[in-house]
Structure 1
Amino acid sequence: MSQPTHHDHLEAAAIRQRVQELMPGIRADLEDLVRIESVSADPERAAEVQRSAEAVAALVRAEGFDDVEIVSARADGGAPAVIAHKPGPAGSPTVLLYAHHDVQPENDHADWDSPPFEPTERGERLYARGAADDKAGIAAHLGALRVFGDDLPVGVTLFVEGEEEVGSETLPDLLAAHRERLRADVIVIADSGNWDIGVPALTTSLRGLVRVDVEVRTLTHAVHSGMWGGLVPDALIALSRLIASLHDDDGAVAVAGLHRGPAADVEYPEERLRAESGATAGVQWIGEGSAVERLWTQPALSITGLDAPQVAGASNTLVPAARARISMRIAPGDTTANALARLQEHLEQHVPWGAELTVTVVDTGEATQIDATGPAYDAARQAFTEAWDGTAPVDMGVGGSIPFIAEFLEAFPEASVLVTGVEDPDTRAHGANEGLHLAEFERVVVAEALLLRNVAAALG
């Protein structure tokens, strides 16, 4: 990686100063976006999702983008996305800036310390649903653009999606329909996070996802537990034994044939791991290998739902059928087809006592492994190091899944895909009291402006 020149240092200082001047306006626009309840999972708030797209389009037009359009891959006009373009100097590269304007449901308002759709500052954070995930990504893009005004060093295409929180089902259709408008040399996806407060990161791997519903049946109907217990197995016991077979005694996933790989050499201190995970004081970690391998590059398996009679009011009968939802994260380098086949095989081999087994696929999402080498990644690392006062970024994995990144890699194989974001270990995205660390947010804006400058120099 080339070292910044003296001129680069001066320019970086000027960019930092400009961002400081712009921050009140950037924050005001972010707060306005947050007040729009764009919960894509709630059909009753579809009008709010549409209003959110229109608000984003208006903000983009205010930045001098003439080619601004709200688009959808569905005939009913749902899941609105915003696409816009602003040219750069002749011969300059094009950078696609991605974010999403839809948000997760806020769930029980009683769990929030302040109203979920009223941005509230407490301490170093701004709290609200979408304050970080991912309306701050939109605001960061707008802030970086405002640094340059009409003198962009690169061509910029903005793509702000409206259904990321419900699985980006129509994203492949959008990418296909607007492929030429979205084609770029560098794609910046602002939907991830940093390693810690004060330590930036590039996300270079994400696990995939396979979710299935598993039903076990042992009886055609419930029968008296006293008369038939001891001879006829009940479905809950059978399901419990099947679930128990999914891990070995150390807690590692026992499904044969799943991929496992190495992770970056990153230390995850015990005290930080326990604090950030919310694990109780006495709980022991499961699996084997380093903490980041278990979190980023090995499969993981959880039971996220269970259909069975409630304890309150339970009768003395053998339960005829029981159902569980299995959520399996698959390691980068694996495929959902392989993982689903191996899981099906395991379940069929381990279902006990001849019980009937039904496996229904809920959804899948591919894992992602990014080769983060080349001039665009060098430009990003230099930008991050400057924005964080000399602290170089970590190449970070993410244990969760963002399947749409694989869609971008497939649609634009020649582009360099940079996965960044505004989140930190205490952001609490998707949960109550989601919060944006304001000082880190400002650094993110500085970093993105520097990135645009560096990409112009590296690829121009």
Structure 2
Amino acid sequence: MTAASDAIRAQVTDLMPGIRRDLEDLVRIESVSADPARAGEVQRSAEAVAALFRAERFASVDIVSAEGGAPAVIAHKPGPDGAPTVLLYAHHDVQPENDHADWDSPPFEPTERGERLYARGAADDKAGIAAHLGALRVFEALGDGQLPVSVTMFIEGEEEVGSETLPALLAEHQEALRADVIVIADSGNWDIGEPALTTSLRGLVRVDVEVRTLTHAVHSGMWGGLVPDGIMALTRLLSSLYDDEGALAIEGLHHGPAADVEYPEVRLRAESGAAPGVDWIGRGPVVERLWTQPALTITGLDAPRVDGASNTLTPAARARLSLRIAPGDTTENALARLTAHLEQHVPWGAGLTVTTVDTGEATSIDATGPAYDAARAAFTEAWDGTEPVDMGVGGSIPFIAEFLEAFPEASVLVTGVEDPDTRAHGANEGLHLAEFERVVLAEAFLLRNLGAL
């Protein structure tokens, strides 16, 4: 370890209390992009982020939005002549907190318990903003305050609602956002004490499926046994989507290999929340089933409630299907294959309506080259010799594919502050504070390494 590295480590330790204060101030802003009633809070959040950048003396700081979109912040700070430009991405909007009774502390009041800071957005993804700021502050505090690279901040405001206007923002501000390296701080690490680079993410196709067998409800005693009801037809159709082992039975979807990492059974049980005695579904290595095979979840059902149900045949029933598609597949292919399967398997001549809700492409990153070497060296140094894992993510972050398309010559690094127990999107979302400090340190080392290329 060099004296320069020691100096960076010392600065990160000294800066962490201030970084945490800024994070907590951001977390107290209820920037729930899915809630129209809190659009003012999303705007206030963008203004707070912009104020942080202005306080760091960025050369330019702008709050921007596409038509119908939420406010994003673009800021730029130049580095030495000829240095690479690094785009640092995070998002300031957060998921709804849902039922406050499920939280052990108020969701928008950051609360430390044990090793974690709990609040909505404490990890996903306001900690990404704070980590970027922390890494930059290290160089402000060292020597002449000169950054080793030119930095562009891009803090989005609608990631949690699908980044619908992101393509328009990328097109409108392409020159301002153009960079040699893009660091997307919206993923996580393999475990506490084990860093990772995310190199693949599944895509997403969501559809609503309605099955109709009757023009109106009829008496179940008079017509049951002859006329199929909508729930019966829908459940038969849904069961056709899986084979007896729980693997998808939709033909023509892509499958691929995954990184060669072990996911121990004890850890799987603890992190998945699977009830005791429940068997795993599907076939193949665990990480392939989680990262590089398609998976389909029934996320919603419209049918009469059990309480108050009448003795009638239900005319129609509806389900929302969430299909995660493997890297290497396309949403166009997946939607066509899913629709074809549903049309071929709808039973008893029932009417079928398939409505697309949204889609997002899968991502596979070729994580080779100087920028990735710089990142792996930075992570290894920050985690005291533990090399980062190349991991996949079973979830979907469609905007990464949009960045790759908009800036095909840039190296895209997907990093983050989350760990297996972060509980992002759920109650009691928590940021592991010691791991957060390592993330800030790793990003400072990364900027230093990129500046030396």
Q: TM-score range by the shorter chain?
A: over 0.9
For residue 83 of structure 2, what is the aligned residue in structure 1? 92
Structure 2 CA distance for aligned equivalents of residues 444 and 119 of structure 1: 19
Query: Is 1:453–2:444 an aligned residue pair?
Result: no
Structure 2 CA distance for aligned equivalents of residues 12 and 71 of structure 1: 37
Residue 25 of structure 2: SS of its match in structure 1? helix
1:241 to 229, 233, 236: 236
For residue 429 of structure 1, what is the aligned residue in structure 2? 424
For residue 158 of structure 1, what is the aligned residue in structure 2? 153
Quote how far apart the aligned CAs of 1:192 are.
0.2
Quote how far apart the aligned CAs of 1:66 are.
2.1
Counterparts of 1:149-228 in structure 2, within 5 Å, are 149=140, 150-228=145-223
Q: TM-score, normalised by structure 2?
A: 0.98
1:49-96 per-position Cα deviation (integer Å, ceiling 9, x unaligned): 00000000000011110210000012x6x5000001011000000000
Structure 2 CA distance for aligned equivalents of residues 196 and 10 of structure 1: 29
For residue 36 of structure 1, what is the aligned residue in structure 2? 29
Query: Is 1:364–2:359 an aligned residue pair?
Result: yes
For residue 119 of structure 2, what is the aligned residue in structure 1? 128
Read off the aligned partner of 1:144 and give its amino acid letter.
A
For residue 62 of structure 1, what is the aligned residue in structure 2? 55
1:213-250 per-position Cα deviation (integer Å, ceiling 9, x unaligned): 00000000111111111111111111000000000000
Query: Is 1:252–2:247 an aligned residue pair?
Result: yes
For residue 8 of structure 2, what is the aligned residue in structure 1? 15
Read off the aligned partner of 1:51 and give its amino acid letter.
R
For residue 111 of structure 1, what is the aligned residue in structure 2? 102
For residue 383 of structure 1, what is the aligned residue in structure 2? 378
Read off the aligned partner of 2:129 and give its amino acid letter.
I
Structure 2 CA distance for aligned equivalents of residues 312 and 136 of structure 1: 43
Read off the aligned partner of 1:71 and give its amino acid letter.
V
1:328 to 317, 323, 329: 323
Query: Is 1:73–2:49 an aligned residue pair?
Result: no
Structure 2 CA distance for aligned equivalents of residues 16 and 31 of structure 1: 22
Query: Is 1:301–2:296 an aligned residue pair?
Result: yes
Structure 1 CA distance for aligned equivalents of residues 154 and 312 of structure 2: 56
For residue 393 of structure 1, what is the aligned residue in structure 2? 388
Read off the aligned partner of 1:110 and give its amino acid letter.
A
Residue 452 of structure 2: SS of its match in structure 1? helix
Residue 434 of structure 2: SS of its match in structure 1? helix
Quote how far apart the aligned CAs of 1:315 are.
1.0
Structure 1 CA distance for aligned equivalents of residues 165 and 311 of structure 2: 48
Query: Is 1:338–2:338 an aligned residue pair?
Result: no
2:280 to 285, 294, 306: 285
Residue 99 of structure 1: SS of its match in structure 2? strand
Quote how far apart the aligned CAs of 1:316 are.
1.0
1:27 to 20, 38, 56: 20
Structure 1 CA distance for aligned equivalents of residues 382 and 5 of structure 2: 8
1:294-330 per-position Cα deviation (integer Å, ceiling 9, x unaligned): 0000000010000000111111111110000000000
1:312-364 per-position Cα deviation (integer Å, ceiling 9, x unaligned): 11111111100000000000000000000000000000000000000000000
Amino-acid identity (%): 84
Quote how far apart the aligned CAs of 1:10 are.
2.4
> Which runs of structure 1 show a deviation greater than 3 angstroms over 4 or more consecutive aligned residues?
none
Structure 1 spans left out of the alignment, 5+ residues? 1-5
Residue 386 of structure 2: SS of its match in structure 1? coil
Structure 2 CA distance for aligned equivalents of residues 10 and 277 of structure 1: 42
Q: TM-score, normalised by structure 1?
A: 0.97
Structure 2 CA distance for aligned equivalents of residues 205 and 408 of structure 1: 14
